[in-house]
Structure 1
Amino acid sequence: MNTRNTVLDLHDIQGNIVFGYGRWGYPVSRYLFFKINNKRQGMAFMKSLVPLITSSAPLDKQNNGTAPPATTNVAFTYAGLRELGLPDESMRSFPEDFRMGMKARKDILGDDGPSAPEHWDPIWLNQYDVHVFLSINATSDTQLEQRYEQILQLIDKTSDGVILLSGHRDGDGSTLSDYQSGNAIVIDGKPTANEHFHYVDGISNPVFKGQGRNRAETVGAGKPTRASATTDDGWEALEAGEFVLGHKDESGEYPIAPKPRLLSFNGSFMVYRKLHQNVGKFTSYLETTSKHYGDTKLSTDEKQETLKAKFAGRWSNGAPLSTYPDYASAEEFGEQWQSATEVLFYQADATTEEKNNAREKYETLKAQRRGFNYDYDVDGAKCPLGAHTRRTNPRGSLEFDTQGAFDTPGAMVNRRRILRRGLPYGNSSDRTNNSAEHGTIFMVINASIERQFEFVQQQWINYGNDFKLSNEKDVLLGNHGETQDGNPDGRTVINGNKTLGQPTFMCSGMPRFVETRGGDYFFIPSLTALRMIAEGIIDPT
């Protein structure tokens, strides 16, 4: 199937939706939140922002042929849209999940214990104060600061009609910041896609129609299909309506969206979550538990890396367990990947032939990192049924009657896919520290918060019955509880693999590795809708 059939107006859709900024080289960011005190001044502020807003069009075509040094995007809470004077009929037409906001949905999301809203950063303690989200992504700290100062100057012109909210625990956490920072983790002087548990992140973000991606990019990142004359690789791009409002989704219908059509068309919904990572707990639990796991021929470090891979479903270098089930094969993959990327992206004196060979190898390895399923690992002998990547994207492995009338291998998954955006924050060089400010700014783009993000969070991350795991939770993101004595009570089963000398293994006493520190639900309007909001001309009739 041609992934170009659906046409999206990339100049109308805000940036970081159709393509993430990471691929364009923006390793630093700041996330700002505002309260609107005066409707007229708020509208004027929005109008002044419009020239700075980055669209989803290729960045090298938005700035006189070169990518801009900084990007800016904006989104609104339900309370924010009301403060800006949207008509009641339009406000009532928004989905209930968005109207309620994240804090009111805490029971669905599993935000309890240390993740409960009363423990969030101060900025989130009064959910009705946060009206506007603004992101700045930049190529350098200097460019980031310049765009930030530019935004501050626009705020000053509102005469306190728009207030930049403080209350982020950022930096060393000793003082509250006016913004939340985000930064790619730098290793050997190079920005990476790693997160603080030292996994590679963002490998299989969904590919959907209208992006203009080539066929190879769809493999492993689109939706699984039955191989045919037109889809001989077994993958197709998802429908654009799963992520962009006003376009048909996987059900063949248009997603629920607010009225009028121009308000919602080419817009989307965003989930913003600040997730603190307990690096010390993760490191300690992995070191202690791995001593009792795996083939006795493996070294201590090899055992630890193997168990770590079983938790995530991928090795630290990104190799999937379903394709590389043992330490040796994963190490070989990592060496080849490092060699190819070094020549392709960093070796300035490489010859054309060396570059071409490296690119061919790189594309092959990239396809292997994404292009897999669990058809030949139904029992989880290679990749455990409860591994993080398998739970959040089962790749068609939850279907049962795939040989009969029910012949859509991704039917239970295609409507649950989410676009993952955001960056890590903080420094985790001290691997024993839990309290320092480090984690992930987790941003989700989807057409339906309830059907996509909330379903995955509730049904697949915090409840394991779809995977025949009862109430066993996702190892990395699950809200693991405690015993009456206050001891960690999380658990997971690592399926055995006799061929590889990996016995069935029960991990118990597992602490909560990730805790929520705040967030909310936002509506991202198109450029057209943003101008309408700024002019006050939204008319649902």
Structure 2
Amino acid sequence: MAAAAAPLELDDIQGLVARGYSALKSACFLLLTVEDPTAARPALGRLALLATNGSAESPESALNLAFTSGGLRRLGLDTGELDGFSKEFASGMADPHRSRLLGDVGENAPSRWRWGGPDCPPADVLVLLYARDDGLLGRLEAHVRQDALGDGLTEAARLGTSSLTDREPFGFRDGISQPLVEGLSKVAVGDDAVKAGEFVLGYTNEYGLLTDRPLLPAWYDATGLLPRAPDGGGAADFGRNGSYLVFRQLRQDVAGFHRYLEEVTRRPDGAADPEAREVLAARMVGRWPSGAPLVHAPLRDDPSLGSDNDFGYFATDPHGLSCPLGAHIRRANPRDSLDPQPGSAQSVAIGRRHRILRRGRAYGDDSGDTGLHFLCLGANISRQFEFIQHTWLNNAHFNGLYDGPDPVVASCQNHDATFTVQARPVRTRYRDLPQFVSVRGGAYFFLPGLQALRYLCEGERAGGHR
């Protein structure tokens, strides 16, 4: 059903959708299990009062809440029976079909995860905590524990993070290529803007439609806490101002990454070649460590281009002679190179339907693991995150290649994985790439709007579904 563009209701949208809390350098994530729904709802209600909305960034701290499908069911909403919850969310990331789709097999299989897997305590609720510094974060976390844990909620896992910087663990500048969202950025206008409905439910998406969202029969909300859906025959709109949150803990083998680069770039006499090592790493990523894109700096790093995100591939580098066809950034966002008309506005428009808002944080835990808590937001998990993961990152045939999944982050690596550097007159192929990134946990969450959060945490309601 078509809907006219409407201003975003930022007071009802959780803050994580509107911003990545870049001024809040410290963060941690608490995964909670609902043991007693009757006791858990008031405890969650107390946390909901602290939830940060999207209207203004707090200079001190922020708190947001999200729920898995199992968590919503334990709290009284059957995500499998109610209309509008996506199938991938209802089945969960650890579902065997989803595991095959995402490449979560072998070492990455959910049976080996530290959290979110079938043998782990249920991760029903995700509490996302952010603060200006570690001291303030500790006080916020202590308050959350005192206010919530023990009242029907137990801790399934605590995931700490490293202090926020602009570098990811492999040493490359991160967070450059974020979509500009209509209604969230003053510069997001015209063809550069992605419709807000791609990320927030209840608003027009890139198809000019409203993405499916959970609508409840009116009698589920007898007290009228939820807005009524104008397109749903008076149904209570539980999904409005909500978003789906994908969370994956990705371990990065930093030592293995640099060891591989050093081995395959040695000079004929066996000596290390630091310059060749840096060049190969940049070609695998598609950017230099500073963030400068190879499309505009093909031969050497240029820190003055560290924030450069204004480029395409079709007109400037169609054959991958500057940025290899299989490089990570070329897969994660193909820009203007998508069929059926590469280089056209239609190609760019197709790409806008597969964008995600990234909200990840790096970590280094007590076991010595280093990596990324990958978080992204979208209104359609299948068309956005899963499509990128399966069709672009893990796809060995991406961009006309034969045996080359993403050389850096692909989670379905095998002994035949190859990275090809296009060149004239002869290309170079790097065979038997190791797996540098592995999955240590994950889940799909729903990040409700604040009215929906209040509804979820209120007491008994008409309809008998509690």
Which band: TM-score by shorter chain? 0.7 to 0.9
Aligned match for 1:316, one of 267, 289, 298: 289
Distance in 2, matches of 1:279 and 1:98, equals: 31
The size of the alignment, in residue pairs, is 436
- Once the two structures are superposed, residues 483-529 of structure 1 have per-residue CA deviations (whole angstroms, 9 ceiling, x without a partner) of xxxxx43211111157xxxx521011210000000110000000111
The one-letter code matched in structure 2 to 1:180 is L
Q: CA RMSD in A?
A: 2.5
Aligned match for 1:249, one of 197, 205, 212: 205
Corresponding position of 1:138: 131
After TM superposition, the structure 1 = structure 2 runs for residues 155-194 of structure 1, keeping only pairs within 5 Å, are: 155-156=148-149, 158=151, 161-166=152-157, 179-184=158-163, 192-194=165-167
State the shift of 1:122 in Å. 5.1
Q: Secondary structure at the match of 2:43?
A: helix
| Residue 113 (1) aligns with residue 106 (2) | yes
Distance in 2, matches of 1:470 and 1:538, equals: 57
Distance in 2, matches of 1:372 and 1:88, equals: 41
Distance in 2, matches of 1:243 and 1:538, equals: 31
Aligned match for 1:273, one of 233, 248, 254: 248
Corresponding position of 1:175: none
Distance in 1, matches of 2:106 and 2:413, equals: 8
After TM superposition, the structure 1 = structure 2 runs for residues 374-523 of structure 1, keeping only pairs within 5 Å, are: 374=313, 375-401=315-341, 407-426=345-364, 436-482=368-414, 488-496=415-423, 504-523=427-446
State the shift of 1:465 in Å. 2.8
Distance in 2, matches of 1:460 and 1:93, equals: 27
Distance in 2, matches of 1:148 and 1:85, equals: 27
Q: Secondary structure at the match of 1:533?
A: helix
Q: Secondary structure at the match of 2:31?
A: strand
Contact in 2 for aligned 1:121/1:518 (Cα 8 Å) = yes
State the shift of 1:214 in Å. 2.1
Gap change, CA 1:92 and 1:292, over 3 Å in 2: farther
State the shift of 1:39 in Å. 1.7
Gap change, CA 1:26 and 1:263, over 3 Å in 2: same
Q: Secondary structure at the match of 2:346?
A: coil
Q: Secondary structure at the match of 1:416?
A: coil
State the shift of 1:137 in Å. 1.0
State the shift of 1:98 in Å. 0.3
Length-normalised TM-score, structure 2: 0.88
The one-letter code matched in structure 1 to 2:16 is N
Contact in 2 for aligned 1:79/1:128 (Cα 8 Å) = no
Corresponding position of 1:173: none
State the shift of 1:90 in Å. 6.2
The one-letter code matched in structure 2 to 1:459 is T
Distance in 2, matches of 1:418 and 1:538, equals: 37
State the shift of 1:134 in Å. 0.5
- Once the two structures are superposed, residues 57-102 of structure 1 have per-residue CA deviations (whole angstroms, 9 ceiling, x without a partner) of 121xxxxxxx342211100011111111126786453111001101
Corresponding position of 2:89: 98
The one-letter code matched in structure 1 to 2:34 is I
- Once the two structures are superposed, residues 234-277 of structure 1 have per-residue CA deviations (whole angstroms, 9 ceiling, x without a partner) of x4201011100000100111101111342100100011100001
After TM superposition, the structure 1 = structure 2 runs for residues 291-302 of structure 1, keeping only pairs within 5 Å, are: 291=266, 300-302=273-275
Contact in 1 for aligned 2:420/2:430 (Cα 8 Å) = yes
The one-letter code matched in structure 2 to 1:320 is P
> Quick check: which one's helix share is greater?
1
Corresponding position of 2:234: none
Corresponding position of 2:21: 21
Which blocks of at least 5 consecutive residues in structure 2 are unaligned? Answer: 217-228, 230-236
The one-letter code matched in structure 2 to 1:519 is G
Which blocks of at least 5 consecutive residues in structure 1 are unaligned? Answer: 60-66, 167-178, 185-190, 219-230, 294-298, 338-364, 429-434, 483-487
State the shift of 1:401 in Å. 3.0
Identity %, equivalent residues: 33
Contact in 1 for aligned 2:403/2:416 (Cα 8 Å) = no
The one-letter code matched in structure 1 to 2:432 is G
Distance in 2, matches of 1:308 and 1:495, equals: 15
Distance in 1, matches of 2:393 and 2:139, equals: 39
Distance in 2, matches of 1:305 and 1:538, equals: 63
Distance in 2, matches of 1:36 and 1:119, equals: 23
Contact in 2 for aligned 1:34/1:163 (Cα 8 Å) = yes
Distance in 2, matches of 1:192 and 1:535, equals: 39
State the shift of 1:413 in Å. 1.4
State the shift of 1:446 in Å. 0.5
State the shift of 1:466 in Å. 3.9
After TM superposition, the structure 1 = structure 2 runs for residues 48-63 of structure 1, keeping only pairs within 5 Å, are: 48-59=46-57
Q: Secondary structure at the match of 1:412?
A: helix
Gap change, CA 1:251 and 1:156, over 3 Å in 2: closer
Contact in 2 for aligned 1:480/1:489 (Cα 8 Å) = no
The one-letter code matched in structure 2 to 1:121 is R
Length-normalised TM-score, structure 1: 0.76
State the shift of 1:291 in Å. 2.7
Gap change, CA 1:393 and 1:123, over 3 Å in 2: closer
Distance in 1, matches of 2:184 and 2:49, equals: 24
Contact in 1 for aligned 2:15/2:64 (Cα 8 Å) = yes
Distance in 1, matches of 2:399 and 2:115, equals: 37
Corresponding position of 2:458: 535
The one-letter code matched in structure 1 to 2:393 is I
The one-letter code matched in structure 2 to 1:11 is D
Gap change, CA 1:314 and 1:407, over 3 Å in 2: closer
Contact in 1 for aligned 2:239/2:448 (Cα 8 Å) = yes
Contact in 2 for aligned 1:208/1:239 (Cα 8 Å) = yes
Gap change, CA 1:535 and 1:241, over 3 Å in 2: same
- Once the two structures are superposed, residues 429-451 of structure 1 have per-residue CA deviations (whole angstroms, 9 ceiling, x without a partner) of xxxxxx82110000010101111
State the shift of 1:292 in Å. 5.9
